[in-house]
Amino acid sequence: MSKLHPSRHLVNVRYEIRGPLARRADELERKGYDIIKLNIGNPAAFGFRTPESMRLAVIENLRDAEGYCHQKGIFPAREAVAADAQTRGIRGVTPDDVFIGNGVSELILMTMEALLEPGDEVLVPSPDYPLWTAAISLTGATPVHYPCRAENGFAPDPEEIAKLVTPRCKALVVINPNNPTGAVYSRKVLEGLVDVARENDLVCFSDEIYDRILYDGAEHIPLATLTGDVPCATFGGLSKVYRACGLRTGWVYLTGTREGAPEYLRALELLASLRLCANVPGQWAVQTALGGKQSIYELTAPNGRLGKQRRAVLRGVEASPHLEVVAPRGALYAFVHVKSKPPGFSDRELAMTLLEREHLLIVPGSSFNVDYTDHFRVTLLPEEETIDEVFRRINRLMDDWMDGRLEPKSVRGATV
Protein backbone atom coordinates (compact mmCIF):
# COMPACT_ATOMS: atom_id res chain seq x y z
CA MET A 1 0.00 0.00 0.00
CA SER A 2 1.36 3.43 -0.93
CA LYS A 3 1.91 6.00 1.78
CA LEU A 4 -0.87 8.45 2.55
CA HIS A 5 0.61 11.93 2.21
CA PRO A 6 -1.18 15.04 3.49
CA SER A 7 -2.31 17.61 0.99
CA ARG A 8 0.26 20.29 0.15
CA HIS A 9 -2.20 23.05 1.00
CA LEU A 10 -1.88 22.07 4.67
CA VAL A 11 1.81 23.02 4.78
CA ASN A 12 1.16 26.41 6.40
CA VAL A 13 -1.84 25.32 8.45
CA ARG A 14 -1.26 25.03 12.21
CA TYR A 15 -3.45 24.72 15.27
CA GLU A 16 -0.97 24.08 18.02
CA ILE A 17 -3.42 24.61 20.89
CA ARG A 18 -4.42 20.95 20.34
CA GLY A 19 -1.06 19.83 18.91
CA PRO A 20 1.80 17.60 20.15
CA LEU A 21 1.85 19.17 23.62
CA ALA A 22 -1.80 18.28 24.15
CA ARG A 23 -1.19 14.79 22.80
CA ARG A 24 1.72 14.34 25.22
CA ALA A 25 -0.55 15.50 28.06
CA ASP A 26 -3.02 12.77 27.08
CA GLU A 27 -0.19 10.21 27.18
CA LEU A 28 0.79 11.32 30.68
CA GLU A 29 -2.83 11.14 31.85
CA ARG A 30 -3.06 7.56 30.58
CA LYS A 31 -0.03 6.80 32.75
CA GLY A 32 -1.89 8.08 35.79
CA TYR A 33 -0.64 11.66 36.11
CA ASP A 34 -3.04 14.51 36.90
CA ILE A 35 -2.48 17.29 34.37
CA ILE A 36 -3.66 20.86 34.98
CA LYS A 37 -4.79 21.86 31.49
CA LEU A 38 -4.62 25.58 30.80
CA ASN A 39 -4.49 25.33 27.01
CA ILE A 40 -8.14 25.54 26.00
CA GLY A 41 -10.92 27.94 26.97
CA ASN A 42 -13.44 25.19 27.68
CA PRO A 43 -15.65 26.40 30.56
CA ALA A 44 -17.32 23.02 31.15
CA ALA A 45 -13.94 21.44 31.97
CA PHE A 46 -13.70 23.78 34.97
CA GLY A 47 -17.22 23.35 36.31
CA PHE A 48 -19.00 26.20 34.51
CA ARG A 49 -22.52 25.22 33.45
CA THR A 50 -24.65 26.36 30.57
CA PRO A 51 -27.56 28.40 32.03
CA GLU A 52 -30.45 26.11 32.93
CA SER A 53 -32.92 28.10 30.81
CA MET A 54 -30.83 27.35 27.72
CA ARG A 55 -30.60 23.66 28.55
CA LEU A 56 -34.37 23.53 28.99
CA ALA A 57 -34.89 25.31 25.66
CA VAL A 58 -32.88 22.58 23.92
CA ILE A 59 -34.71 19.77 25.70
CA GLU A 60 -38.19 21.18 25.12
CA ASN A 61 -37.56 21.58 21.39
CA LEU A 62 -35.85 18.26 20.69
CA ARG A 63 -38.92 17.05 18.78
CA ASP A 64 -38.42 19.93 16.35
CA ALA A 65 -34.68 19.31 16.13
CA GLU A 66 -34.61 15.82 14.64
CA GLY A 67 -34.55 16.85 10.99
CA TYR A 68 -32.51 19.21 8.86
CA CYS A 69 -33.34 22.89 9.07
CA HIS A 70 -32.83 25.72 6.58
CA GLN A 71 -29.19 26.01 5.50
CA LYS A 72 -28.92 29.42 7.21
CA GLY A 73 -30.40 28.15 10.47
CA ILE A 74 -33.78 28.06 12.21
CA PHE A 75 -35.74 31.30 12.02
CA PRO A 76 -36.11 31.92 15.80
CA ALA A 77 -32.32 31.78 16.24
CA ARG A 78 -31.61 34.09 13.30
CA GLU A 79 -34.34 36.47 14.44
CA ALA A 80 -32.82 36.60 17.94
CA VAL A 81 -29.35 37.37 16.57
CA ALA A 82 -30.75 40.15 14.37
CA ALA A 83 -32.70 41.64 17.29
CA ASP A 84 -29.64 41.53 19.55
CA ALA A 85 -27.58 43.31 16.88
CA GLN A 86 -30.18 46.07 16.64
CA THR A 87 -30.30 46.56 20.42
CA ARG A 88 -26.52 47.06 20.37
CA GLY A 89 -26.75 49.82 17.78
CA ILE A 90 -26.04 47.79 14.64
CA ARG A 91 -28.57 48.91 12.08
CA GLY A 92 -30.16 47.07 9.20
CA VAL A 93 -29.61 43.46 10.31
CA THR A 94 -32.48 41.13 9.42
CA PRO A 95 -32.89 37.39 10.05
CA ASP A 96 -32.10 36.82 6.37
CA ASP A 97 -28.64 38.34 6.91
CA VAL A 98 -27.73 35.80 9.62
CA PHE A 99 -25.97 32.48 9.06
CA ILE A 100 -25.86 29.93 11.88
CA GLY A 101 -22.87 27.60 11.96
CA ASN A 102 -21.35 24.76 13.94
CA GLY A 103 -19.55 27.25 16.12
CA VAL A 104 -17.70 30.34 14.93
CA SER A 105 -14.89 28.04 13.80
CA GLU A 106 -16.93 26.61 10.93
CA LEU A 107 -18.11 30.07 9.91
CA ILE A 108 -14.55 31.42 9.80
CA LEU A 109 -13.63 28.63 7.41
CA MET A 110 -16.74 29.21 5.30
CA THR A 111 -16.44 32.98 5.05
CA MET A 112 -12.79 32.75 4.01
CA GLU A 113 -13.48 30.00 1.47
CA ALA A 114 -16.30 32.02 -0.08
CA LEU A 115 -14.13 35.13 -0.51
CA LEU A 116 -10.50 34.27 -1.15
CA GLU A 117 -8.43 32.98 -4.03
CA PRO A 118 -4.74 32.01 -4.24
CA GLY A 119 -2.64 35.16 -4.23
CA ASP A 120 -5.06 37.24 -2.17
CA GLU A 121 -3.94 38.72 1.14
CA VAL A 122 -5.75 39.24 4.44
CA LEU A 123 -4.60 41.40 7.35
CA VAL A 124 -4.62 39.40 10.60
CA PRO A 125 -3.56 40.48 14.11
CA SER A 126 -0.37 39.14 15.67
CA PRO A 127 -0.82 37.53 18.12
CA ASP A 128 -3.93 36.00 16.61
CA TYR A 129 -6.36 33.19 17.23
CA PRO A 130 -4.58 30.73 14.92
CA LEU A 131 -7.71 29.45 13.19
CA TRP A 132 -7.86 32.73 11.28
CA THR A 133 -4.37 32.28 9.86
CA ALA A 134 -5.12 28.62 9.12
CA ALA A 135 -8.42 29.36 7.36
CA ILE A 136 -6.77 31.95 5.11
CA SER A 137 -3.88 29.61 4.31
CA LEU A 138 -6.27 26.79 3.38
CA THR A 139 -7.65 28.89 0.52
CA GLY A 140 -4.17 29.52 -0.90
CA ALA A 141 -4.32 33.16 0.17
CA THR A 142 -1.65 34.77 2.35
CA PRO A 143 -2.18 36.00 5.92
CA VAL A 144 -0.34 39.29 6.52
CA HIS A 145 0.14 39.76 10.25
CA TYR A 146 -0.08 43.22 11.75
CA PRO A 147 1.58 43.64 15.17
CA CYS A 148 -0.35 44.25 18.38
CA ARG A 149 2.40 45.25 20.79
CA ALA A 150 2.48 44.76 24.55
CA GLU A 151 3.66 48.33 25.09
CA ASN A 152 0.38 49.49 23.49
CA GLY A 153 -1.73 47.17 25.63
CA PHE A 154 -1.77 44.74 22.68
CA ALA A 155 -3.90 47.17 20.68
CA PRO A 156 -3.04 47.57 16.97
CA ASP A 157 -1.78 50.77 15.36
CA PRO A 158 -3.97 51.64 12.35
CA GLU A 159 -1.18 53.69 10.75
CA GLU A 160 1.15 50.71 10.94
CA ILE A 161 -1.54 48.48 9.42
CA ALA A 162 -2.12 50.89 6.54
CA LYS A 163 1.52 50.44 5.45
CA LEU A 164 0.97 46.69 5.06
CA VAL A 165 -1.86 47.02 2.54
CA THR A 166 -1.08 45.98 -1.04
CA PRO A 167 -3.29 45.78 -4.15
CA ARG A 168 -3.75 42.06 -3.37
CA CYS A 169 -5.27 42.74 0.07
CA LYS A 170 -8.99 41.94 0.34
CA ALA A 171 -9.89 41.92 4.03
CA LEU A 172 -9.02 43.02 7.56
CA VAL A 173 -9.56 40.68 10.52
CA VAL A 174 -10.26 42.17 13.97
CA ILE A 175 -10.42 40.01 17.13
CA ASN A 176 -12.02 42.06 19.91
CA PRO A 177 -12.00 41.22 22.80
CA ASN A 178 -8.79 39.57 21.82
CA ASN A 179 -7.70 35.98 22.15
CA PRO A 180 -4.95 35.40 23.32
CA THR A 181 -4.14 38.78 24.92
CA GLY A 182 -7.43 39.87 26.52
CA ALA A 183 -7.12 43.33 24.92
CA VAL A 184 -10.32 45.32 24.40
CA TYR A 185 -9.94 47.98 21.72
CA SER A 186 -10.87 51.62 22.24
CA ARG A 187 -13.25 53.52 19.99
CA LYS A 188 -10.30 55.50 18.60
CA VAL A 189 -8.45 52.33 17.58
CA LEU A 190 -11.57 50.81 16.03
CA GLU A 191 -12.32 53.99 14.08
CA GLY A 192 -8.75 53.93 12.78
CA LEU A 193 -9.17 50.33 11.63
CA VAL A 194 -12.39 51.23 9.83
CA ASP A 195 -10.60 54.10 8.10
CA VAL A 196 -7.95 51.68 6.82
CA ALA A 197 -10.68 49.37 5.49
CA ARG A 198 -12.63 52.20 3.85
CA GLU A 199 -9.60 53.79 2.20
CA ASN A 200 -8.42 50.47 0.79
CA ASP A 201 -11.77 48.88 -0.12
CA LEU A 202 -11.37 46.04 2.39
CA VAL A 203 -14.00 43.81 3.97
CA CYS A 204 -13.90 43.73 7.80
CA PHE A 205 -14.21 40.43 9.64
CA SER A 206 -14.89 41.09 13.34
CA ASP A 207 -14.53 38.13 15.71
CA GLU A 208 -16.57 39.14 18.77
CA ILE A 209 -17.14 35.74 20.41
CA TYR A 210 -16.06 37.21 23.81
CA ASP A 211 -18.11 40.41 23.47
CA ARG A 212 -19.70 40.27 26.94
CA ILE A 213 -16.72 38.90 28.86
CA LEU A 214 -15.24 42.15 30.19
CA TYR A 215 -13.39 43.25 33.34
CA ASP A 216 -12.69 46.44 35.29
CA GLY A 217 -15.26 48.52 33.44
CA ALA A 218 -13.97 47.73 29.95
CA GLU A 219 -16.40 48.59 27.17
CA HIS A 220 -16.82 46.47 24.08
CA ILE A 221 -17.80 48.47 20.98
CA PRO A 222 -19.19 46.33 18.15
CA LEU A 223 -17.17 47.15 15.04
CA ALA A 224 -20.31 47.19 12.89
CA THR A 225 -21.59 50.24 14.81
CA LEU A 226 -18.70 52.20 13.26
CA THR A 227 -18.30 50.71 9.78
CA GLY A 228 -21.20 52.44 8.04
CA ASP A 229 -21.12 51.42 4.38
CA VAL A 230 -17.93 49.33 4.77
CA PRO A 231 -18.85 45.62 4.53
CA CYS A 232 -18.42 44.03 7.95
CA ALA A 233 -19.00 40.41 8.94
CA THR A 234 -19.59 40.06 12.70
CA PHE A 235 -19.12 36.70 14.47
CA GLY A 236 -20.63 35.57 17.77
CA GLY A 237 -21.83 32.41 19.44
CA LEU A 238 -22.86 30.45 22.51
CA SER A 239 -19.52 28.82 23.36
CA LYS A 240 -17.88 31.38 25.66
CA VAL A 241 -20.33 33.98 27.00
CA TYR A 242 -22.95 31.28 27.54
CA ARG A 243 -20.57 28.44 28.53
CA ALA A 244 -22.03 26.14 25.86
CA CYS A 245 -19.07 25.01 23.75
CA GLY A 246 -20.55 21.57 23.13
CA LEU A 247 -23.68 22.94 21.50
CA ARG A 248 -21.48 24.12 18.60
CA THR A 249 -23.68 27.10 17.78
CA GLY A 250 -22.26 30.30 16.32
CA TRP A 251 -23.43 32.99 13.92
CA VAL A 252 -22.22 35.57 11.45
CA TYR A 253 -24.00 38.45 9.71
CA LEU A 254 -22.89 40.97 7.12
CA THR A 255 -23.59 44.70 7.41
CA GLY A 256 -22.65 47.68 5.28
CA THR A 257 -23.23 48.25 1.60
CA ARG A 258 -24.95 45.44 -0.29
CA GLU A 259 -23.45 46.69 -3.52
CA GLY A 260 -21.22 43.94 -4.83
CA ALA A 261 -22.15 41.62 -1.95
CA PRO A 262 -24.97 39.47 -3.41
CA GLU A 263 -22.62 37.09 -5.22
CA TYR A 264 -20.51 36.64 -2.11
CA LEU A 265 -23.61 35.97 0.01
CA ARG A 266 -24.82 33.40 -2.54
CA ALA A 267 -21.42 31.71 -2.34
CA LEU A 268 -21.69 31.66 1.44
CA GLU A 269 -25.18 30.16 1.22
CA LEU A 270 -23.85 27.54 -1.21
CA LEU A 271 -21.23 26.47 1.33
CA ALA A 272 -23.88 26.47 4.06
CA SER A 273 -26.01 24.21 1.86
CA LEU A 274 -23.16 21.80 1.20
CA ARG A 275 -22.91 21.02 4.92
CA LEU A 276 -26.74 20.75 4.90
CA CYS A 277 -27.27 22.70 8.12
CA ALA A 278 -25.75 23.48 11.49
CA ASN A 279 -26.48 21.46 14.61
CA VAL A 280 -30.20 22.00 15.15
CA PRO A 281 -30.70 21.27 18.89
CA GLY A 282 -28.19 23.94 19.89
CA GLN A 283 -29.93 26.56 17.77
CA TRP A 284 -33.00 26.37 19.99
CA ALA A 285 -30.94 27.85 22.83
CA VAL A 286 -30.06 31.04 20.93
CA GLN A 287 -33.30 32.93 21.49
CA THR A 288 -33.28 32.13 25.20
CA ALA A 289 -29.62 33.08 25.54
CA LEU A 290 -29.82 36.46 23.82
CA GLY A 291 -33.21 37.40 25.22
CA GLY A 292 -32.70 36.31 28.80
CA LYS A 293 -30.67 37.37 31.81
CA GLN A 294 -26.99 37.85 30.97
CA SER A 295 -25.50 35.79 33.79
CA ILE A 296 -21.96 36.31 32.47
CA TYR A 297 -21.93 39.75 34.12
CA GLU A 298 -22.21 38.16 37.55
CA LEU A 299 -19.20 35.97 36.74
CA THR A 300 -17.02 38.81 35.41
CA ALA A 301 -17.83 41.20 38.27
CA PRO A 302 -14.95 41.87 40.70
CA ASN A 303 -16.46 39.42 43.20
CA GLY A 304 -17.65 36.98 40.55
CA ARG A 305 -15.82 33.76 39.85
CA LEU A 306 -14.08 34.97 36.68
CA GLY A 307 -13.27 38.31 38.28
CA LYS A 308 -11.58 36.58 41.21
CA GLN A 309 -9.73 34.12 39.00
CA ARG A 310 -8.44 36.93 36.80
CA ARG A 311 -7.11 38.64 39.94
CA ALA A 312 -5.48 35.37 41.00
CA VAL A 313 -3.58 35.23 37.68
CA LEU A 314 -2.48 38.86 38.05
CA ARG A 315 -1.46 38.18 41.66
CA GLY A 316 0.54 35.13 40.63
CA VAL A 317 2.38 37.04 37.91
CA GLU A 318 3.05 40.03 40.15
CA ALA A 319 4.60 37.81 42.82
CA SER A 320 6.97 36.22 40.33
CA PRO A 321 10.44 37.65 39.64
CA HIS A 322 10.34 35.98 36.24
CA LEU A 323 7.00 37.07 34.78
CA GLU A 324 4.95 40.11 33.77
CA VAL A 325 1.63 40.55 32.00
CA VAL A 326 -0.62 43.16 30.43
CA ALA A 327 -3.79 42.73 32.49
CA PRO A 328 -6.51 41.20 30.30
CA ARG A 329 -9.57 43.44 30.03
CA GLY A 330 -11.71 40.85 28.29
CA ALA A 331 -11.96 37.21 27.14
CA LEU A 332 -10.70 34.19 29.10
CA TYR A 333 -6.91 34.34 28.83
CA ALA A 334 -3.72 36.02 29.97
CA PHE A 335 -0.73 36.35 27.62
CA VAL A 336 2.20 36.19 30.02
CA HIS A 337 5.71 37.50 29.27
CA VAL A 338 8.77 35.70 30.64
CA LYS A 339 11.00 38.68 31.43
CA SER A 340 13.97 36.88 33.05
CA LYS A 341 15.25 34.12 30.78
CA PRO A 342 18.17 31.69 30.95
CA PRO A 343 20.45 31.35 27.90
CA GLY A 344 18.79 29.56 25.01
CA PHE A 345 15.29 29.99 26.45
CA SER A 346 12.27 29.35 24.24
CA ASP A 347 8.56 29.28 25.01
CA ARG A 348 8.28 25.81 23.47
CA GLU A 349 10.93 24.33 25.77
CA LEU A 350 9.23 26.03 28.71
CA ALA A 351 5.89 24.49 27.76
CA MET A 352 7.30 20.98 27.32
CA THR A 353 9.35 21.14 30.52
CA LEU A 354 6.37 22.40 32.54
CA LEU A 355 4.33 19.51 31.17
CA GLU A 356 6.91 16.80 31.83
CA ARG A 357 8.10 18.02 35.23
CA GLU A 358 5.25 20.03 36.71
CA HIS A 359 2.30 18.48 34.86
CA LEU A 360 1.01 21.84 33.60
CA LEU A 361 -0.24 22.27 30.04
CA ILE A 362 0.16 25.81 28.68
CA VAL A 363 0.31 27.18 25.13
CA PRO A 364 3.58 28.72 23.87
CA GLY A 365 3.11 32.30 22.71
CA SER A 366 4.75 31.52 19.38
CA SER A 367 1.71 29.35 18.58
CA PHE A 368 -0.22 32.58 17.98
CA ASN A 369 1.77 33.74 14.95
CA VAL A 370 4.21 36.11 16.64
CA ASP A 371 7.91 36.56 15.89
CA TYR A 372 9.04 36.30 19.54
CA THR A 373 9.41 33.28 21.83
CA ASP A 374 9.05 34.65 25.36
CA HIS A 375 5.29 34.53 26.03
CA PHE A 376 2.76 31.87 26.96
CA ARG A 377 -1.02 31.80 27.23
CA VAL A 378 -3.03 30.48 30.15
CA THR A 379 -6.78 30.41 30.61
CA LEU A 380 -8.50 32.22 33.51
CA LEU A 381 -10.98 29.37 34.01
CA PRO A 382 -9.47 27.31 36.90
CA GLU A 383 -10.45 27.93 40.53
CA GLU A 384 -8.31 30.42 42.46
CA GLU A 385 -6.57 27.68 44.44
CA THR A 386 -5.58 25.93 41.23
CA ILE A 387 -4.26 29.16 39.74
CA ASP A 388 -2.17 29.77 42.86
CA GLU A 389 -0.70 26.28 42.51
CA VAL A 390 -0.04 26.86 38.79
CA PHE A 391 2.18 29.86 39.48
CA ARG A 392 3.96 28.11 42.35
CA ARG A 393 4.95 25.38 39.90
CA ILE A 394 5.96 27.82 37.16
CA ASN A 395 8.13 29.81 39.56
CA ARG A 396 9.71 26.67 41.00
CA LEU A 397 10.70 25.54 37.52
CA MET A 398 11.95 28.98 36.47
CA ASP A 399 14.03 29.29 39.66
CA ASP A 400 15.73 25.96 38.89
CA TRP A 401 16.22 26.87 35.24
CA MET A 402 17.75 30.25 36.03
CA ASP A 403 20.10 28.65 38.60
CA GLY A 404 21.28 25.95 36.17
CA ARG A 405 19.57 23.08 38.03
CA LEU A 406 17.28 22.18 35.13
CA GLU A 407 17.79 20.52 31.78
CA PRO A 408 14.88 21.69 29.63
CA LYS A 409 12.92 19.14 27.64
CA SER A 410 13.04 19.29 23.87
CA VAL A 411 9.77 19.64 22.05
CA ARG A 412 8.74 16.47 20.28
CA GLY A 413 8.25 16.97 16.57
CA ALA A 414 8.79 19.99 14.37
CA THR A 415 5.99 22.04 15.92
CA VAL A 416 4.25 22.10 19.26
**206 and 234 Cβ atoms separated by less than 8 Å:** yes
pLDDT, mean over the chain: 93
Fold of 8-49+298-402: Aspartate Aminotransferase, domain 1 (3.90.1150)
Q: Grade residue 343 by pLDDT with cuts at 50, 70 and 90.
A: confident
The mean per-residue pLDDT over the stretch 63-69 comes to 94
Q: Grade residue 292 by pLDDT with cuts at 50, 70 and 90.
A: confident
Residue of 137, 140, 148, 141 lying closest to 176 (CA atoms): 148
Q: For every residue of the chain, which 3-state class applies, written as one string?
A: CCCCCCCHHHCCCCCHHHCHHHHHHHHHHHCCCCCEECCCCCHHHHCCCCCHHHHHHHHHCHHHHCCCCCCCCCHHHHHHHHHHHHHCCCCCCCHHHEEEECHHHHHHHHHHHHHCCCCCEEEEEECCCHHHHHHHHHCCCEEEEEEECHHHCCCECHHHHHCCCCCCEEEEEEECCCCCCCCCCCHHHHHHHHHHHHHCCCEEEEECCCCCCECCCCCCCCHHHCCCCCCEEEEEECCCCCCCHHHCCEEEEEECCCCCCHHHHHHHHHHHHHCCCCCHHHHCCHHHHHHCCCCHHHHHCCCCHHHHHHHHHHHHHHCCCCEEECCCCECCEEEEEECCCCCCCCHHHHHHHHHHHHCEECEEHHHHCCCCCCEEEEECCCCHHHHHHHHHHHHHHHHHHHCCCCCCCCCCCCCC
Amino acid at 285: A
pLDDT of residue 40: 87
Q: How many CA atoms lie within 13 A of 226 on its CB side?
A: 20
The mean per-residue pLDDT over the stretch 160-183 comes to 97
Per-residue pLDDT at 357 exceeds 90: yes
Per-residue pLDDT at 394 exceeds 60: yes
The mean per-residue pLDDT over the stretch 312-332 comes to 97
Q: Summarize pLDDT for 6-61 with one digit per residue, the tens.
A: 777 777 777 777 788 889 999 999 999 999 999 989 999 999 999 999 999 999 99
Per-residue pLDDT at 395 exceeds 80: yes
Our CA angle for 146, 100, 285, nearest 5°, is 115
Give the largest Cα separation in the chain, rounded: 64
Q: Work out the end-to-end distance of the chain between its first and last CA atoms, rounded to an integer number of angstroms.
A: 30
The mean per-residue pLDDT over the stretch 201-211 comes to 97
Express as a percent the part of the chain with pLDDT over 90. 86
Cα–chain center distance at 230: 23
Q: Summarize pLDDT for 91-132 with one digit per residue, the tens.
A: 889 999 999 999 999 999 999 999 999 999 999 999 999 999
CA distance 200 to 171: 9
pTM of the model: 0.93
Q: Summarize pLDDT for 238-252 with one digit per residue, the tens.
A: 999 999 999 999 999
The segment(s) of the chain belonging to CATH 3.40.640.10 are 52-291
Q: For residue 222, is the peptide bond before it cis, meaning its omega torsion is within 30 degrees of 0? A: no
The mean per-residue pLDDT over the stretch 186-202 comes to 97
pLDDT of residue 409: 67
pLDDT of residue 356: 94
pLDDT of residue 415: 38
Say whether domain 52-291 belongs to CATH 3.40.50.800.
no
Residue of 177, 180, 157, 173 lying closest to 219 (CA atoms): 177
Q: What sign results for the dihedral spanned by CA atoms 365, 193, 163, 153?
A: negative
Residue of 12, 285, 44, 45 lying closest to 135 (CA atoms): 12
φ, ψ for residue 333, nearest 5 deg: -140, 160
Whole-angstrom CA distances from 356 to 25, 218, 367 are 8, 37, 19
CA distance 137 to 11: 9
Q: Grade residue 414 by pLDDT with cuts at 50, 70 and 90.
A: very low
pLDDT of residue 1: 55
The two beta strands, 375-379 and 363-364, are antiparallel
Express as a percent the part of the chain with pLDDT over 70. 98
CA distance 282 to 102: 9
pLDDT of residue 20: 85
